[in-house]
Structure 1
């Protein structure tokens, strides 16, 4: 069977029934409707139209299958399959990412297991896509790994009827890496479906996800090896595998499984007498989530110089588990009298986090651990409102978990969007949340003495205001965030809660200039932490500039080429250190990181196939060897990558 993965993009092509190719415009959908900006310029025959090939997000935003070759596709051709402008990758794909910027526009209501350094590739509920296609549709993405290995992302989706679709996807990665003990191996299986009855009275959608992320953990280079790297010692420049690492046989594994479904039943509906469309209806609905996660750290041979003393001589095997059940009932009311759709909801959540047994008392002598697990349940209430008034789109949602338990908190998010035809779109938003820290801040245990704690932190309070301006002349976004009771890991790898608030400003602007067949795409981000910069660290400037050439080659234009170079730079800052035992980033005060990177690419498109060739970090051949992803973790040397994305429409 052929698998496939379809992603959300801004422009696209689709094969018509006569085999021709047409452009897909950027779309912004409302709640349940499609909003198309321009007419497609292609001859269509038969009953199949380009708008029939749909990708539907968890929030019911709809776009279409995308097979074009654009500069945005170049940015997204990576393991995460998204633009990683605000991320700094480790040398091997499938490893962690250090952060160059943060986004607090929307925050989750419930605390997670933690180990956030391992969850960049994790697909949560909001990232699962649903499909609606008139014919079986397929896409495969392939990309070479570092030294040896590859990543394959594939999906197959089919409509068994107009009202019933199933999508099956799998992303697998195995990449050895250039340094010792740095292999990455991941697997990600997704099954999504949606169905509704003939008249839409009953509908159900859901998915099943099973994913695992396995990494050999090197702990970075030893002091001597790091010095050899920074000084460009010729004995190691051509064979990074000869450099010593701190951990020779450590390994981490993050696993996750999720079952989710949502079903609705229409109780009442009315028709507009003029256009016979639903203008008022009442639906009752229910959704259910069961999500489990496990994080395991395995180390057959101890390294007490790196992690400190332990209560065992060998065989570290720490397993942290997490289980969440979430049941929600809701009532949807859609009417012209409330200018849109209103939802009232009530839910119950049950959680269980911890370890199978309590840590040996000799371990917890310095940092007492009273319990081996945290568990409980809570009820929550909320409401959502979505409305469209002329060219304004208004969205608001609020949820509260009352009481004083571990999950007690609240979340409010509101936004207003104004769209002026195809000229520009303006959006403003506000986000206020109060949420307990992730569970690994509250309870953690290990055979290493210094990695045992049970804490009782206050909720983290986040207040964020921001806006976006999108237009054909350029894009800009601004956010101002205040964070109270911020929780982090300090220089000693211990959890801490800030006593002062953090004030964080982020401004990002982008503009593309075109000169015939050439284009210059620019993105600049400015960040400022006016309060709390000692614990919340980001570079002041991050810039990316891509100069590229696009043209059709050969008679009849069978090949579209895209040739260019991308320059990226971020100013020096004390980037967080990475701790493999915690799977988290921690503060450090010794190393400043910031440098330029230059990538060169040659991409091509033949019909619905996109081919990618890239030389990554070409600048490493002539600039100073100070390119690190985190202290003791070098970024990748110059490397050649190849990949392809291929679509079929049967």
Structure 2
């Protein structure tokens, strides 16, 4: 996949691009495409877009449609929030603690249990921060061909490039091709990261809007050299700031010298609807209208492999000698049938659905040293039932979704999501939310095989139950959120890397407040998070306080305002806590009781915007010159030293 990167770039040059957006109303059905092209040149958003448009077409017709059919429109402005998202994930990583090299994993500074799926995954969660799930893939409508290029330098050698091209062949048919490629050597031994995310999407609607279909194909791979972290002697040299190693981190010894891990994923997804009854077919369209039948299909496969030329004592003394090649695969098929309609009796849109899901997880063969494991594969199927509702009364909105998978198999469980929110124009909004989820642990907790004897198990764990009650307040005066989570049968990896299910309940509180102050040409953006684990803190570890504060100057420079600049500094701090340890053999994190991590960092930045191009310069961790060298991402894994990074986001609209 990496070899095709340059070809994709050349294909995209000369077309154009998108950026971040604003949410408007959504719906259940496949998205309707917009209006057509034209012949009039319009300069909108203060020079942001310069394209040929008709009198019926404007810049808001450049649309991105999410999986839930929430629509966003083009915005190429330069803001502090976009600066926070300028990383290889392209997400604000406030609640994540990055490892030193981009493309590696993240430790967690906070948890969100409100986004858990009811279907168990393959596991190996530390490898999946950059994974595109179904809900992460967007669809598009654009009046003219549109392209976006995001580029950022790597660490030592390499870079990350995220390229998108989308075009409407007609008012009703859009396709998009996107590729995110990353390769970065890293400053420490055995820290090379090489990843690729290819996405192809399409959406189509028949001339009269009776039939609609959308879908995507995604191919992803994440390759990492695995060092196992610094050796005990090397870690001591790092913490003591030994001058023999401060200028060349590659001289520090690591625990693994020939190991690497690879996660690959392929998915095919489509959703189609057929309109049986439209609004104009009824006498009173407020009673019952827009009746549609639909079908969605998903084929999702994942593959994880950990390789080592020679088995070592680092993981387990009791092992099979020779090379290590642990290969785990996972395949899920999911078919859903649904019925959509609008009605005044449900105050909006309603969907009922039923699905059939099959899964196949495991290994090609049963290893000959496994005397206590009976199965090399876990297989099964299940039928699900569910409903979705989106209601609205003036400024009051209600969204709810429920799924039930009856039975006693590994897929059995239930999921209920509900939220109610009130929005007063652009002044403020208040949201209350509830999530109740009951599902099996991920499959790698249930079955695992390895050349290392300790890492072989077959478990019959109980379902994990999670209940999340929360609320949000967003306004021009500031934003605040509160989540209270209760979990039973929480499943985790112990210090020795074996899985365990917590016998008691976990009570977890997370509160977050953010506010930006502006004075003249200066801005001061602040986010503070407080967390408390009232019970279960021995297995769920989070820092009590996390804060991020950014002071910056923003102004237009030169005659005619051709350049908008941002110059500032970001201070981030999290209090000490026993952060989880990374285990590359598991592709996941384990609890540990020996090392506490918590420290401040300071980054400097200079950002600029020239028309549709945003340029970013960042000096990472300049605080390493004057703060103590105790910055770690996980035990034995140092955070990055001072480094200057450069990047650009470039948009074209033909």
Q: TM-score range by the shorter chain?
A: over 0.9
- Quote the residue 1:316 is aligned against: 324
**2:242 counterpart of 1:233:** yes
The DSSP-based 3-state class of the residue aligned with 1:310 is: coil
- Quote the residue 2:347 is aligned against: 339
Q: Which runs of 5 or more structure 2 residues have no equivalent in the other structure? A: 1-10, 24-38
Task: Map 1:367-386 to 2 at 5 A.
Answer: 368-386=372-390
Counterpart of 1:181 (choices 170, 178, 190) is 190
Alpha-carbon shift at residue 596 of structure 1 (Å): 0.3
> Structure 1 pair 10/227, CA: closer, same or farther in 2 (3 Å)?
farther
* Residues 177 and 183 in structure 1, CA contact (< 8 A), matched pair in contact too: yes
- Quote the residue 2:417 is aligned against: 413
- Quote the residue 2:57 is aligned against: 48
- Quote the residue 2:511 is aligned against: 507
* Residues 272 and 278 in structure 1, CA contact (< 8 A), matched pair in contact too: no
Counterpart of 1:205 (choices 196, 211, 214) is 214
* Residues 47 and 611 in structure 2, CA contact (< 8 A), matched pair in contact too: no
Alpha-carbon shift at residue 304 of structure 1 (Å): 1.6
Counterpart of 1:627 (choices 626, 631, 634) is 631
* Residues 5 and 141 in structure 1, CA contact (< 8 A), matched pair in contact too: no
Task: Map 1:119-518 to 2 at 5 A.
Answer: 119-271=128-280, 280-312=289-321, 314-361=322-369, 364-365=370-371, 368-518=372-522
* Residues 282 and 289 in structure 2, CA contact (< 8 A), matched pair in contact too: no
- Cα deviation, 1:164-206, whole Å, max 9, x if unaligned, reads 1001000000000000010000011000110011121000000
The DSSP-based 3-state class of the residue aligned with 1:427 is: strand
**2:65 counterpart of 1:61:** no
> Structure 1 pair 246/278, CA: closer, same or farther in 2 (3 Å)?
farther
Aligned equivalents of 1:44, 1:563: Cα separation in 2: 35
- Quote the residue 1:37 is aligned against: none
- Quote the residue 1:86 is aligned against: 95
> Structure 1 pair 631/445, CA: closer, same or farther in 2 (3 Å)?
same
> Structure 1 pair 187/290, CA: closer, same or farther in 2 (3 Å)?
same
Aligned equivalents of 2:538, 2:588: Cα separation in 1: 18
Alpha-carbon shift at residue 45 of structure 1 (Å): 6.6
Counterpart of 1:574 (choices 574, 578, 581) is 578
Aligned equivalents of 1:369, 1:481: Cα separation in 2: 35
The DSSP-based 3-state class of the residue aligned with 1:185 is: strand
**2:12 counterpart of 1:2:** yes
Alpha-carbon shift at residue 20 of structure 1 (Å): 2.2
* Residues 270 and 278 in structure 1, CA contact (< 8 A), matched pair in contact too: no
Aligned equivalents of 1:23, 1:54: Cα separation in 2: 19
- Cα deviation, 1:533-580, whole Å, max 9, x if unaligned, reads 010000000000000011000111000001110000000000000000
The DSSP-based 3-state class of the residue aligned with 2:279 is: strand
Aligned equivalents of 2:389, 2:47: Cα separation in 1: 30
Counterpart of 1:22 (choices 45, 62, 79) is 45
- Cα deviation, 1:232-264, whole Å, max 9, x if unaligned, reads 000000000000000011000000000000000
* Residues 269 and 299 in structure 2, CA contact (< 8 A), matched pair in contact too: yes
**2:625 counterpart of 1:616:** no
- Quote the residue 1:560 is aligned against: 564
* Residues 529 and 536 in structure 1, CA contact (< 8 A), matched pair in contact too: yes
The DSSP-based 3-state class of the residue aligned with 1:305 is: coil
TM-score (norm 2): 0.93
The DSSP-based 3-state class of the residue aligned with 1:258 is: strand
* Residues 341 and 351 in structure 2, CA contact (< 8 A), matched pair in contact too: yes
Alpha-carbon shift at residue 422 of structure 1 (Å): 1.0
Aligned equivalents of 1:99, 1:627: Cα separation in 2: 15
- Quote the residue 1:33 is aligned against: none
> Structure 1 pair 273/201, CA: closer, same or farther in 2 (3 Å)?
closer
> Structure 1 pair 7/249, CA: closer, same or farther in 2 (3 Å)?
farther
* Residues 537 and 573 in structure 1, CA contact (< 8 A), matched pair in contact too: yes
* Residues 271 and 278 in structure 1, CA contact (< 8 A), matched pair in contact too: no
- Quote the residue 2:127 is aligned against: 118
Aligned equivalents of 1:505, 1:7: Cα separation in 2: 33
Alpha-carbon shift at residue 9 of structure 1 (Å): 3.6
> Structure 1 pair 463/371, CA: closer, same or farther in 2 (3 Å)?
same
The DSSP-based 3-state class of the residue aligned with 2:604 is: strand
The DSSP-based 3-state class of the residue aligned with 1:338 is: coil
> Structure 1 pair 43/302, CA: closer, same or farther in 2 (3 Å)?
closer
Aligned equivalents of 1:339, 1:8: Cα separation in 2: 31
Alpha-carbon shift at residue 18 of structure 1 (Å): 3.2
Alpha-carbon shift at residue 280 of structure 1 (Å): 1.0
Aligned equivalents of 1:301, 1:273: Cα separation in 2: 72
> Structure 1 pair 17/439, CA: closer, same or farther in 2 (3 Å)?
farther
Alpha-carbon RMSD across the aligned residues, in angstroms, is 2.2
* Residues 65 and 138 in structure 2, CA contact (< 8 A), matched pair in contact too: yes
Aligned equivalents of 1:274, 1:345: Cα separation in 2: 27
Aligned equivalents of 2:646, 2:190: Cα separation in 1: 24
Q: Which runs of 5 or more structure 1 residues have no equivalent in the other structure? A: 26-39
Aligned equivalents of 1:116, 1:46: Cα separation in 2: 49
TM-score (norm 1): 0.94
